[in-house]
Amino acid sequence: MTLANKLKKVHGRKHGRPLNAARQRAMGNQFERYALTPTELTCDGTLDPRTFFPDATKLSFEVGFGNGDFLFEMIQRHPSEAFFAAEPYVNGMSALMKHIDDTSCEDGQYPLKVWMDDAMDVAKSLIDSSLDCIYVLNPDPWPKVRHHKRRMISQKNLDEFARILKDNGQLIMTTDVDDLAEWMATQATNHPAFECEANSKVDWQKKPEGWVTTRYEQKGKEAGRKQTYLIFRKKA
Ligand SMILES: C[S@@+](CC[C@H](N)C(=O)[O-])C[C@H]1O[C@@H](n2cnc3c(N)ncnc32)[C@H](O)[C@@H]1O
Protein backbone atom coordinates (compact mmCIF):
# COMPACT_ATOMS: atom_id res chain seq x y z
CA MET A 1 0.00 0.00 0.00
CA THR A 2 1.39 3.43 -0.90
CA LEU A 3 1.63 6.10 1.77
CA ALA A 4 -0.91 8.24 -0.10
CA ASN A 5 -3.44 5.39 -0.04
CA LYS A 6 -2.72 4.67 3.60
CA LEU A 7 -3.37 8.27 4.62
CA LYS A 8 -6.81 8.07 3.06
CA LYS A 9 -7.79 5.40 5.57
CA VAL A 10 -8.17 7.86 8.45
CA HIS A 11 -11.09 10.23 8.13
CA GLY A 12 -10.73 13.69 9.63
CA ARG A 13 -7.75 15.98 10.14
CA LYS A 14 -4.13 14.90 10.14
CA HIS A 15 -2.76 18.46 10.10
CA GLY A 16 -3.95 21.73 11.60
CA ARG A 17 -2.04 24.90 12.32
CA PRO A 18 1.73 24.70 11.70
CA LEU A 19 3.60 23.52 14.78
CA ASN A 20 5.24 26.24 16.87
CA ALA A 21 8.94 26.05 17.69
CA ALA A 22 8.45 24.28 21.02
CA ARG A 23 6.21 21.61 19.47
CA GLN A 24 8.68 21.10 16.61
CA ARG A 25 11.51 20.77 19.09
CA ALA A 26 9.55 18.29 21.20
CA MET A 27 8.79 16.19 18.10
CA GLY A 28 12.48 16.25 17.19
CA ASN A 29 13.63 15.37 20.71
CA GLN A 30 11.06 12.73 21.60
CA PHE A 31 8.99 11.29 18.77
CA GLU A 32 11.43 8.69 17.48
CA ARG A 33 12.08 7.34 20.97
CA TYR A 34 8.40 6.57 21.46
CA ALA A 35 7.10 5.84 17.96
CA LEU A 36 6.20 2.38 16.76
CA THR A 37 7.69 1.73 13.34
CA PRO A 38 5.85 0.46 10.27
CA THR A 39 7.97 -2.71 10.43
CA GLU A 40 6.77 -3.38 13.98
CA LEU A 41 3.14 -2.96 12.95
CA THR A 42 2.53 -5.87 10.64
CA CYS A 43 -1.26 -5.96 11.19
CA ASP A 44 -1.15 -9.75 11.51
CA GLY A 45 -1.67 -10.23 15.24
CA THR A 46 1.93 -11.19 16.03
CA LEU A 47 3.20 -8.21 18.03
CA ASP A 48 3.63 -9.09 21.69
CA PRO A 49 3.44 -5.89 23.78
CA ARG A 50 5.55 -7.62 26.45
CA THR A 51 8.49 -7.34 24.03
CA PHE A 52 8.56 -3.64 24.87
CA PHE A 53 7.29 -3.75 28.44
CA PRO A 54 8.09 -7.10 30.08
CA ASP A 55 7.57 -5.84 33.64
CA ALA A 56 4.52 -3.59 33.26
CA THR A 57 1.79 -4.26 35.83
CA LYS A 58 -0.93 -3.33 33.34
CA LEU A 59 -1.05 -2.76 29.57
CA SER A 60 -3.50 -0.24 28.13
CA PHE A 61 -4.18 1.22 24.71
CA GLU A 62 -5.68 4.66 24.05
CA VAL A 63 -7.38 5.09 20.68
CA GLY A 64 -7.36 8.69 19.36
CA PHE A 65 -5.72 10.47 22.29
CA GLY A 66 -6.19 14.02 20.93
CA ASN A 67 -3.77 16.28 22.79
CA GLY A 68 -2.76 13.45 25.10
CA ASP A 69 -4.01 15.12 28.30
CA PHE A 70 -5.66 11.95 29.63
CA LEU A 71 -2.78 9.73 28.50
CA PHE A 72 -0.03 11.87 29.98
CA GLU A 73 -1.80 12.19 33.32
CA MET A 74 -2.35 8.40 33.41
CA ILE A 75 1.33 7.78 32.65
CA GLN A 76 2.32 10.01 35.53
CA ARG A 77 -0.20 8.61 37.99
CA HIS A 78 0.59 4.96 37.17
CA PRO A 79 4.33 4.64 36.58
CA SER A 80 4.35 0.82 36.76
CA GLU A 81 1.83 0.53 33.89
CA ALA A 82 2.56 0.72 30.14
CA PHE A 83 0.57 2.39 27.38
CA PHE A 84 0.10 2.08 23.65
CA ALA A 85 -1.57 5.06 22.04
CA ALA A 86 -2.55 6.15 18.54
CA GLU A 87 -3.38 9.58 17.15
CA PRO A 88 -3.08 10.50 13.46
CA TYR A 89 -3.33 14.26 14.06
CA VAL A 90 0.22 15.68 14.14
CA ASN A 91 -0.87 18.63 16.28
CA GLY A 92 -2.17 16.16 18.89
CA MET A 93 0.97 14.03 18.75
CA SER A 94 3.18 17.10 19.13
CA ALA A 95 1.15 18.23 22.17
CA LEU A 96 1.83 14.87 23.82
CA MET A 97 5.53 15.05 22.89
CA LYS A 98 5.66 18.55 24.41
CA HIS A 99 4.21 17.22 27.69
CA ILE A 100 6.99 14.62 27.64
CA ASP A 101 9.70 17.08 26.63
CA ASP A 102 8.72 19.44 29.44
CA THR A 103 9.11 16.81 32.15
CA SER A 104 11.82 14.46 33.21
CA CYS A 105 11.01 10.80 33.59
CA GLU A 106 12.84 9.06 36.46
CA ASP A 107 13.60 5.97 34.37
CA GLY A 108 14.76 8.01 31.37
CA GLN A 109 11.82 7.00 29.22
CA TYR A 110 8.12 6.62 29.91
CA PRO A 111 6.60 3.16 29.29
CA LEU A 112 4.80 4.34 26.17
CA LYS A 113 4.61 3.46 22.47
CA VAL A 114 2.79 5.76 20.06
CA TRP A 115 1.55 5.45 16.48
CA MET A 116 0.77 8.55 14.41
CA ASP A 117 -1.87 6.95 12.22
CA ASP A 118 -4.90 4.68 12.39
CA ALA A 119 -5.35 3.05 15.80
CA MET A 120 -6.60 -0.09 14.08
CA ASP A 121 -3.07 -0.67 12.71
CA VAL A 122 -1.96 -1.14 16.32
CA ALA A 123 -4.99 -3.24 17.24
CA LYS A 124 -4.53 -5.56 14.25
CA SER A 125 -0.83 -5.99 15.04
CA LEU A 126 -1.12 -7.03 18.70
CA ILE A 127 -1.33 -10.68 19.74
CA ASP A 128 -4.52 -12.17 21.19
CA SER A 129 -5.42 -11.50 24.83
CA SER A 130 -2.56 -9.11 25.47
CA LEU A 131 -4.18 -5.94 26.87
CA ASP A 132 -5.89 -5.12 30.15
CA CYS A 133 -7.72 -2.03 28.98
CA ILE A 134 -8.69 -0.07 25.86
CA TYR A 135 -9.79 3.57 26.08
CA VAL A 136 -11.85 5.20 23.34
CA LEU A 137 -12.51 8.66 24.75
CA ASN A 138 -14.73 11.13 22.94
CA PRO A 139 -14.28 9.58 19.49
CA ASP A 140 -15.33 11.66 16.49
CA PRO A 141 -19.16 11.63 16.43
CA TRP A 142 -19.67 11.63 12.65
CA PRO A 143 -23.25 12.88 13.08
CA LYS A 144 -24.48 12.39 9.51
CA VAL A 145 -26.09 9.01 9.01
CA ARG A 146 -24.09 8.39 5.85
CA HIS A 147 -20.89 8.82 7.92
CA HIS A 148 -21.87 6.47 10.76
CA LYS A 149 -19.74 3.77 9.15
CA ARG A 150 -16.69 5.91 9.98
CA ARG A 151 -17.39 5.72 13.70
CA MET A 152 -14.61 4.06 15.67
CA ILE A 153 -16.98 1.77 17.52
CA SER A 154 -18.30 -0.76 15.02
CA GLN A 155 -18.78 -4.52 15.13
CA LYS A 156 -15.65 -4.97 13.01
CA ASN A 157 -13.45 -2.87 15.30
CA LEU A 158 -15.03 -4.44 18.39
CA ASP A 159 -14.01 -7.88 16.99
CA GLU A 160 -10.43 -6.65 16.98
CA PHE A 161 -10.67 -5.06 20.45
CA ALA A 162 -12.17 -8.29 21.81
CA ARG A 163 -9.35 -10.31 20.29
CA ILE A 164 -6.55 -8.26 21.89
CA LEU A 165 -8.17 -7.78 25.31
CA LYS A 166 -7.52 -10.32 28.04
CA ASP A 167 -10.52 -12.05 29.58
CA ASN A 168 -12.22 -9.52 31.88
CA GLY A 169 -10.22 -6.75 30.20
CA GLN A 170 -12.05 -3.43 30.01
CA LEU A 171 -13.23 -1.36 27.08
CA ILE A 172 -13.85 2.18 28.34
CA MET A 173 -15.71 4.56 26.02
CA THR A 174 -16.84 8.10 26.73
CA THR A 175 -18.69 10.82 24.87
CA ASP A 176 -20.77 13.93 25.48
CA VAL A 177 -22.82 13.35 22.32
CA ASP A 178 -26.05 11.57 23.29
CA ASP A 179 -26.60 9.91 19.93
CA LEU A 180 -23.05 8.55 19.91
CA ALA A 181 -23.40 7.30 23.50
CA GLU A 182 -26.50 5.36 22.45
CA TRP A 183 -24.66 4.04 19.36
CA MET A 184 -21.57 2.87 21.28
CA ALA A 185 -23.67 1.27 24.03
CA THR A 186 -25.77 -0.58 21.45
CA GLN A 187 -22.74 -1.73 19.44
CA ALA A 188 -20.98 -3.07 22.52
CA THR A 189 -24.14 -4.62 24.01
CA ASN A 190 -24.83 -6.40 20.71
CA HIS A 191 -21.30 -7.75 20.48
CA PRO A 192 -21.07 -11.32 21.81
CA ALA A 193 -17.66 -10.83 23.46
CA PHE A 194 -18.61 -7.90 25.70
CA GLU A 195 -20.76 -7.39 28.75
CA CYS A 196 -21.67 -4.12 30.40
CA GLU A 197 -20.29 -3.39 33.86
CA ALA A 198 -23.10 -0.97 34.78
CA ASN A 199 -26.24 -2.14 36.54
CA SER A 200 -28.38 0.52 34.93
CA LYS A 201 -28.10 3.47 32.53
CA VAL A 202 -27.82 5.81 35.54
CA ASP A 203 -24.33 4.38 36.17
CA TRP A 204 -23.28 5.61 32.74
CA GLN A 205 -23.41 9.19 34.04
CA LYS A 206 -21.12 8.41 36.99
CA LYS A 207 -17.47 9.26 36.65
CA PRO A 208 -15.37 6.12 37.26
CA GLU A 209 -13.23 6.18 40.41
CA GLY A 210 -9.87 7.88 39.92
CA TRP A 211 -10.96 9.31 36.57
CA VAL A 212 -8.73 11.87 34.81
CA THR A 213 -10.90 14.77 33.67
CA THR A 214 -9.48 16.37 30.53
CA ARG A 215 -9.84 19.98 29.40
CA TYR A 216 -12.10 18.71 26.60
CA GLU A 217 -14.40 17.02 29.10
CA GLN A 218 -14.35 20.01 31.45
CA LYS A 219 -15.27 22.42 28.65
CA GLY A 220 -18.16 20.20 27.62
CA LYS A 221 -19.42 20.14 31.19
CA GLU A 222 -19.21 23.92 31.44
CA ALA A 223 -21.18 24.20 28.19
CA GLY A 224 -23.91 22.03 29.77
CA ARG A 225 -23.16 18.77 27.93
CA LYS A 226 -23.31 15.58 29.94
CA GLN A 227 -20.50 13.08 29.73
CA THR A 228 -21.38 9.41 29.41
CA TYR A 229 -18.96 6.75 30.66
CA LEU A 230 -19.51 3.31 29.13
CA ILE A 231 -17.50 0.51 30.69
CA PHE A 232 -17.67 -2.91 29.11
CA ARG A 233 -15.74 -6.04 29.98
CA LYS A 234 -14.57 -8.86 27.75
CA LYS A 235 -16.45 -11.96 28.84
CA ALA A 236 -14.20 -14.64 30.33
C1 LIG B 1 -12.93 14.35 19.36
S2 LIG B 1 -11.26 13.95 19.43
C3 LIG B 1 -11.06 13.38 21.10
C4 LIG B 1 -9.65 13.37 21.58
C5 LIG B 1 -9.39 12.80 22.98
N6 LIG B 1 -9.67 11.40 23.06
C7 LIG B 1 -10.17 13.55 24.02
O8 LIG B 1 -11.04 12.98 24.68
O9 LIG B 1 -9.88 14.75 24.21
C10 LIG B 1 -11.16 12.42 18.51
C11 LIG B 1 -9.73 12.04 18.15
O12 LIG B 1 -9.70 10.79 17.50
C13 LIG B 1 -8.69 10.84 16.51
N14 LIG B 1 -8.94 9.79 15.51
C15 LIG B 1 -9.85 9.80 14.50
N16 LIG B 1 -9.76 8.68 13.79
C17 LIG B 1 -8.77 7.92 14.35
C18 LIG B 1 -8.19 6.66 14.04
N19 LIG B 1 -8.62 5.93 13.03
N20 LIG B 1 -7.19 6.22 14.83
C21 LIG B 1 -6.74 6.95 15.88
N22 LIG B 1 -7.26 8.15 16.21
C23 LIG B 1 -8.25 8.63 15.46
C24 LIG B 1 -8.81 12.24 15.95
O25 LIG B 1 -7.64 12.67 15.28
C26 LIG B 1 -9.09 13.04 17.21
O27 LIG B 1 -7.91 13.53 17.81
C-alpha 113 – ligand 1 centre gap (Å): 16
Q: What does the alpha-carbon distance between residue 209 and residue 124 come to, in Å, rounded to a whole number?
A: 30
Quick one: CA dihedral 209, 93, 120, 130, positive or negative? negative
In the beta sheet, which residues pair with residue 113? 84
Mean pLDDT calculated for residue range 25-37: 97
Mean pLDDT calculated for residue range 16-29: 93
Name the residues annotated as catalytic: 140
Q: What is the pLDDT of residue 177?
A: 94
Percent of the chain scoring above 70 in pLDDT: 95
DSSP E strands in the chain: the ranges are: 59-63, 82-86, 112-115, 131-137, 165-175, 194-196, 228-234
Mean pLDDT calculated for residue range 219-232: 93
Q: How far is CA 11 from CA 52, 85, 142, 151, 218, in A?
A: 29, 18, 10, 10, 25
User: In 3-state terms, what secondary structure has residue 80?
Assistant: coil
In short, whether 64's Cβ falls inside 6 Å of ligand 1 is: yes
In short, whether 139's Cβ falls inside 6 Å of ligand 1 is: yes
Enumerate the domain spans of the chain: 3-234
Q: What does the alpha-carbon distance between residue 151 and residue 184 come to, in Å, rounded to a whole number?
A: 9
Q: What does the alpha-carbon distance between residue 158 and residue 162 come to, in Å, rounded to a whole number?
A: 6
Per-residue confidence band for 2, with pLDDT thresholds at 50, 70 and 90: very low
Per-residue confidence band for 1, with pLDDT thresholds at 50, 70 and 90: very low
Look up the CATH architecture of domain 3-234. 3-Layer(aba) Sandwich (3.40)
Per-residue confidence band for 13, with pLDDT thresholds at 50, 70 and 90: low
pTM of the entire predicted model: 0.94
Q: What pLDDT digit, counting tens, does each position of 173-220 carry?
A: 999 999 999 999 999 999 999 999 998 888 999 999 999 998 888 888
- Say which range, 14-23, 36-45, 120-129, has the weakest mean pLDDT: 14-23
Which one has a higher pLDDT value, 218 or 229?
229
Q: What pLDDT digit, counting tens, does each position of 66-123 carry?
A: 999 999 999 999 999 999 999 999 999 999 999 999 997 777 899 999 999 999 999 9
Q: What is the pLDDT of residue 139?
A: 96
* Residue 209 burial by Cβ neighbours in a 10 Å radius (0-12, 13-18, 19+): exposed
Q: What is the pLDDT of residue 106?
A: 75
Q: What does the alpha-carbon distance between residue 68 and residue 73 come to, in Å, rounded to a whole number?
A: 8
Percent of the chain scoring above 90 in pLDDT: 84
Q: What is the pLDDT of residue 104?
A: 77
Tell me which amino acid residue 133 is: C
Atom of ligand 1 nearest to the CA of 89: 25
In short, whether 118's Cβ falls inside 6 Å of ligand 1 is: yes
Atom of ligand 1 nearest to the CA of 69: 9
Q: What is the pLDDT of residue 9?
A: 65
Phi, psi of 16 (to 5 degrees): -130, -130
In short, whether 160's Cβ falls inside 6 Å of ligand 1 is: no
In short, whether 63's Cβ falls inside 6 Å of ligand 1 is: yes
Q: How far is CA 42 from CA 46, 122, 150, in A?
A: 8, 9, 23
Q: How far is CA 189 from CA 18, 48, 141, 232, in A?
A: 41, 28, 19, 8
Best substitution site from 10, 154, 156, 212 to test ligand 1's pocket, by max atoms within 8 Å of Cβ? 10
